[in-house]
């Protein structure tokens, strides 16, 4: 409901007119307007619940004569409205701006005014206060003799309905512009400081509506982009014509720019929530995959860098992707400086690593496969799998159970997992000799160490070196040392104590890794190899730190 379709405007009524006056106005209006519409307007204004929508969509807090004058001014597409809305209640200013947006003519010279009206309306709506609004409405109702609004919830619900009408008006105003996507982007940049601050509510809802309207177009563009991506990959694989590749790359970039221009305001609003816009992130991942494909598979680092630089420009509003892209750019620039030498080294190292980690063994009804992509464990009718590059936790250990001195079970178990999933490999097979089980267990661990654990050791050292604190069971590790539990009489624990690396000692046995304070016999921790993630990684790091004074290098942050 806009101002000119409001029952107050139709009947030339004031918010302070009582029921008798509304009847008189309806009868007067019926002399030259549709009598049924006059009656309907009067009924709406006489019904407290229906009246509320009309009041919110009107000009609360504005005198009748001024209200009529302001509406006439807002209907004039060339009237400088902005000076008149200062000092008005926020909801009244919003309603006037909405009318102005509807009435401004679709002319190129007026596009800037439409955009300013849209932005101002969005800003003004943020100033609407429920308590102030209910006070304005009830003040007029008290004079007109209508029941006051008692429920803030009902007012909030009605305001939300009106907000939907304002969003529709804003959307229609955008549609008047020659480049609505660019205008919405400029408004979003202005009101969120490039996505750094929370977006106003109307901007969020307007962008959500815009996203629905452009979804099909973006889907079509995405389809074209992905088809062109496949074409580029096929050209690289099957053709030695650089002109073909250059032509397709240029078209690919043009489509990406079209896509990003439309999606930019959606990206900005998502950024205000601290997340990557999903469709943009998915497309950016595909583009990054193409960049990595060109660089890693075919050594086309120039083209890969060109794509990465374009991604840095277009997808700068995807905070979770930005760091990866910058890393790609730096790496590609370094590679291009020493391309031949580095390419040779990288390929040789990759082939060596692939050979070292490769594993495919069967035992009983089970099978373990380790390759460059996944760790996979298969059994009769089931499969567990985790991506190599996502593994961030490992543990393993042997457990044997006995009853009256007779062994009743044995477990040679290895776990490798990510935040999403965990693969649990049991190496023991019923009735198989322990020497065979042990060889299998050690072989899988050898491959696992090269495939995953070496990376985890390096990554963990880097995290500690940067000042991060890491927990393992009931101990906390940092670059200075370890926070250990301290036990009092009868095993009761007191406040934990922090000990430097020089003050610690370590040992292992019976399935546990023990860390102790060298001079405090009651300060220690026993970490189960089978039950606590990454204990083996911690043990490796601690043994490394005591060689050549490496703990001093850790304190200095030298293991980034």
pLDDT in tens, 401-448: 888 888 888 999 999 999 999 999 999 998 899 999 999 999 999 999
Instruction: Give one word for 80, left, alpha or beta, with left for phi > 0 and alpha for psi -120 to 50.
Output: beta
pLDDT, one tens digit per residue, over 450-487 is: 999 999 999 999 999 999 999 999 999 999 999 999 88
Among 249, 323, 255, residue whose Cα is nearest residue 283: 255
pLDDT digits (tens, 9 = 90+) for 351-365: 899 999 999 999 999
Q: Higher-confidence residue: 338 or 119? A: 119
CA distance 62 to 83: 16
Q: What is the mean pLDDT of residues 113-130?
A: 93
- Give ranges for CATH 2.30.29 in the chain: 355-453, 466-555
d(CA 425, CA 292): 32
pLDDT category at 489 given cuts 50, 70, 90 is low
CA distance 253 to 232: 12
CATH class of 355-453: mainly beta
Q: Is residue 343 predicted with pLDDT exceeding 90?
A: no
Q: Does residue 260 register a pLDDT over 90? A: yes
Question: In which band, very low, low, confident or very high, does the pLDDT at 520 lie, cut at 50, 70 and 90?
Answer: confident
* pLDDT over threshold 70, residue 108: no
Please tell me the predicted confidence (pLDDT) of residue 82: 67
Query: What are the beta bridge partners of residue 314?
Result: none
Report the pLDDT value the prediction gives residue 362, as an integer from 0 to 100. 96
Q: How far is the CA of 124 from the CAs of 59, 98, 162, 170, in angstroms?
A: 14, 11, 14, 13
Here the tokens at position 148 are 């006051």
181 neighbors 265 (Cβ within 8 angstroms): yes
The number of beta carbons lying within 10 Å of the beta carbon of residue 543 is 11
CA–CA gap between residue 249 and residue 231 (Å, rounded): 10
Nearest-5° angle of CA 154, CA 159, CA 160? 100
pTM of the entire structure?
A: 0.59
Mean predicted confidence (pLDDT) in 93-108: 87
Residue-wise pLDDT for 177-234, tens only, equals 989 999 999 999 999 998 899 999 999 999 999 999 999 999 999 999 999 999 999 9
Helical ranges in 449-511 per DSSP H: 454-465
Q: How confident is the model at residue 238 (pLDDT cuts 50, 70, 90)?
A: confident
Residue 416, exposed/middle/buried by CB under 10 A (0-12, 13-18, 19+)? Answer: buried
Give the confidence band of 83 by pLDDT, cuts at 50, 70, 90. Answer: low
Residue 528, pLDDT above cutoff 70: yes
Q: Please say if the pLDDT value at position 109 is more than 70.
A: no
- Using one digit for the tens of pLDDT, what is the confidence trace for 129-144? 999 999 999 999 999 9
The band of 79, judged by pLDDT with boundaries at 50, 70 and 90, is low
pLDDT of residue 224: 95
Q: Which helix (H) or strand (E) holds 266?
A: helix 242-272
pLDDT value of position 110: 77
Residues 30-73: tens digit of each pLDDT: 988 899 999 999 999 999 889 999 999 999 988 888 888 888 88
Which string of DSSP letters, residue by residue, matches 342-392? HHHHHHHHHHHHHHHH-EEEEETTEEEEE-SSEEEEEETTEEEEEEGGG--
Least confident of 164-168, 291-295, 482-486, 545-549: 545-549
For the chain, the first-to-last Cα distance in angstroms comes to: 61
CA distances for 437 relative to 127, 363, 457, 486, angstroms: 72, 10, 27, 39
Q: What pLDDT does 77 receive?
A: 57
Per-residue pLDDT at 488 exceeds 80: no
In the chain, % helix, strand, coil (3-state, to 5) comes to: 60, 15, 25
Integer Cα distance of 161 and 170 in angstroms = 15
What mean pLDDT value characterizes the chain?
90
Write the CATH number of the domain with boundaries 466-555: 2.30.29
pLDDT tier at 490, thresholds 50, 70, 90:
low
């Amino acid at each position: 409901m806009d101002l000119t379709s409001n029952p107050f405007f139709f009947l030339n009524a004031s918010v302070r007119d009582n029921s008798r006056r509304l009847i008189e106005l309806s009868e007067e209006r019926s002399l030259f307007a549709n009598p049924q519409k006059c009656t309907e307007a009067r009924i709406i204004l006489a019904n407290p619940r229906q009246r509320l929508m009309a009041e919110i969509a009107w000009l609360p807090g504005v005198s009748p004569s001024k209200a009529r004058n302001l509406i006439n001014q807002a209907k004039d597409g060339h009237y400088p409205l902005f000076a008149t809305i200062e000092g008005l209640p926020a909801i009244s200013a919003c309603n006037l701006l909405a009318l102005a947006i509807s009435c401004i003519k679709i002319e190129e010279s007026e596009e800037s005014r439409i955009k300013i009206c849209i932005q101002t309306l969005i800003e003004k709506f943020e100033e609407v206060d429920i308590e102030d609004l209910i006070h304005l409405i009830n003040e007029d109702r008290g004079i007109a003799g209508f029941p006051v609004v008692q429920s803030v919830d009902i007012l909030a619900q009605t305001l939300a309905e009106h907000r939907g009408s304002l969003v529709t008006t804003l959307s229609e105003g955008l549609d008047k512009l020659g480049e609505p996507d660019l205008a919405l982007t400029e408004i979003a940049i202005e009101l969120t400081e490039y996505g750094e601050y929370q977006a106003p509510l109307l901007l969020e809802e307007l962008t959500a509506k815009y996203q629905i309207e452009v979804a099909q177009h973006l889907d079509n563009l995405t389809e074209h982009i992905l088809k062109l991506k496949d074409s580029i990959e096929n050209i690289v694989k099957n053709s030695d014509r650089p002109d073909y590749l250059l032509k397709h790359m240029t078209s690919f970039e043009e489509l990406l720019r079209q896509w990003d221009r439309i999606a930019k305001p959606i990206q900005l609003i998502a950024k205000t929530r601290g997340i990557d816009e999903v469709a943009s992130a998915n497309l950016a991942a595909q583009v990054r995959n193409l960049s990595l494909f060109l660089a890693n598979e075919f050594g086309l680092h120039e083209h890969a860098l060109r794509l990465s630089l374009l991604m840095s420009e277009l997808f700068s509003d995807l905070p979770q992707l930005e760091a990866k892209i910058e890393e790609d750019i730096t790496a590609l620039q370094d590679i291009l400086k020493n391309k031949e030498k580095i390419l040779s080294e990288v390929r040789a190292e990759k082939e060596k690593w692939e050979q070292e980690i490769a594993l495919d063994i069967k035992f009983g009804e089970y099978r373990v496969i380790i390759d460059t992509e996944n760790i996979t464990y298969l059994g009769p009718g089931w499969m567990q799998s985790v991506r190599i590059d996502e593994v961030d936790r490992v543990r393993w250990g042997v457990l044997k159970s006995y009853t009256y001195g007779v062994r009743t079970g044995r477990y040679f178990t290895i776990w490798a997992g990510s935040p999403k999933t965990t693969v649990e490999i049991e190496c023991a097979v019923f009735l198989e000799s322990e020497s065979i089980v042990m060889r299998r267990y050690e072989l899988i661990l050898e491959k696992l160490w090269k495939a995953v654990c070496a990376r985890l050791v390096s990554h963990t050292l880097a995290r500690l070196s940067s000042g991060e604190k890491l927990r393992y069971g009931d101990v906390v590790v940092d670059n200075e040392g370890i926070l250990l539990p301290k036990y009092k009489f009868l095993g009761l624990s007191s406040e934990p104590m922090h000990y430097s690396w020089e003050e610690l000692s370590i040992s292992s046995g019976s399935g546990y890794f023990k860390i102790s304070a060298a001079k405090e016999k009651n300060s220690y921790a026993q970490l189960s190899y089978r039950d606590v993630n990454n204990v083996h990684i911690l043990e490796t790091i601690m043994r490394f730190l005591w060689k050549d004074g490496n703990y001093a290098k850790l304190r200095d942050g030298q293991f980034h």
